[in-house]
Amino acid sequence: MDVITLLKKDHKMVKNLFEEFNNLKSSKIQKKADIIAQIKEALTVHAQVEEELVYPAFRENRSMKEQVGEALEEHHVTKILLGELDALQPDGERYDAKVKVLYEYLMHHVKEEEKEMFPEAQKRLSSKRLAALGEEVEARRSELLEGNEDGGQQERENMEEQDREAREDMEEEGGLVIEKEKEQRSGRRVA
Ligand SMILES: [Fe+2]
Ligand SMILES: [Fe+2]
């Protein structure tokens, strides 16, 4: 698949996820968090392949340097917004507003890519080059997604470990309380 078609498909997929988020009732907190996690993963991988493979190929053309520079700055702002969203709770007051700003900002970026940058690239790069770039992007994307899956596994294991430790601490504390109660009942002083 040529790189332009591929990137547009990604844009559409992320747009659909935002629409799904917008159509949710505000009480569906877990679902909201799940969708945002999917958006974050898709955007992170998408931005990375653009930055590593697509933009460098585009900017070989002097006429595209400025567009690529602007797009990189927009990626930068998008990452800041995603980071800020991470720090908020999905049931918090500012969450939905932040998602909305992210969505609007992103749609502006996507529009510039699809209406200005991609048509220019189609003029400047041969269809053979665009197809080869598409293959590189697909391969790199699979690699990044596989890495994320392993990372997710590691994260789950860490969380399970933390849960187990917390349970053990609670059990220990519970044991201490029982000990103290026994001591109190038997009239001994409690340290
Ligand atoms: Fe894009
Ligand atoms: Fe982009």
Distance 75 CA to ligand 2 centre (A): 6
Q: Are residues 86 and 72 in the same domain?
A: yes
110 C-alpha to center of ligand 1: Å? 6
Let me know whether 176 and 139 are in one domain.
no
Single pTM value for the model = 0.77
36 and 13 both lie in a single domain? yes
- Write the pLDDT tens digit of every residue in 90-104: 998 899 999 999 999
**What is the pLDDT averaged over residues 67-95?**
95
- Structural tokens at position 182: 């026994």
Compute, in angstroms, the gap from residue 85 CA to the centroid of ligand 2: 19
Residues 7 and 101 in one domain: yes
Residues 180 and 141 in one domain: no
Q: What is the average pLDDT across 69-91?
A: 96
Residues 6+ apart with CB under 8 A from 118: 4, 7, 8
Q: What is the mean pLDDT of residues 81-93?
A: 93
Supply the range of the domain harboring residue 94. 3-149
Q: Could you tell me if 171 and 142 lie in one domain?
A: no
Give the angle 144-147-143 at the CA atoms, nearest 5°.
35
pLDDT band at 147 (very low <50, low <70, confident <90, very high): confident
**Mean pLDDT value of segment 23-28:** 86
CB contact at 8 A, 135 and 2:
no
Q: Is residue 191 very low, low, confident or very high in pLDDT (cuts 50, 70, 90)? A: very low
Residues 94 and 156 in one domain: no
Identify the nearest ligand to the CA of 71 by its number.
2
Separation of 189 CA from ligand 1 center, angstroms? Answer: 69
What number is the average pLDDT over the span 68-91? 96
Q: Are residues 62 and 142 in the same domain?
A: yes
Same domain, 76 and 170: no
Give the pLDDT confidence score for residue 34 in this predicted structure. Answer: 95
Of all ligands present, the nearest one to the C-alpha of 13 is 1
Specify the pLDDT at position 57: 98
* Number of alpha helices (DSSP H) and beta strands (DSSP E) in the chain: 7, 0
User: What total of structural domains would you count in the chain?
Assistant: 2
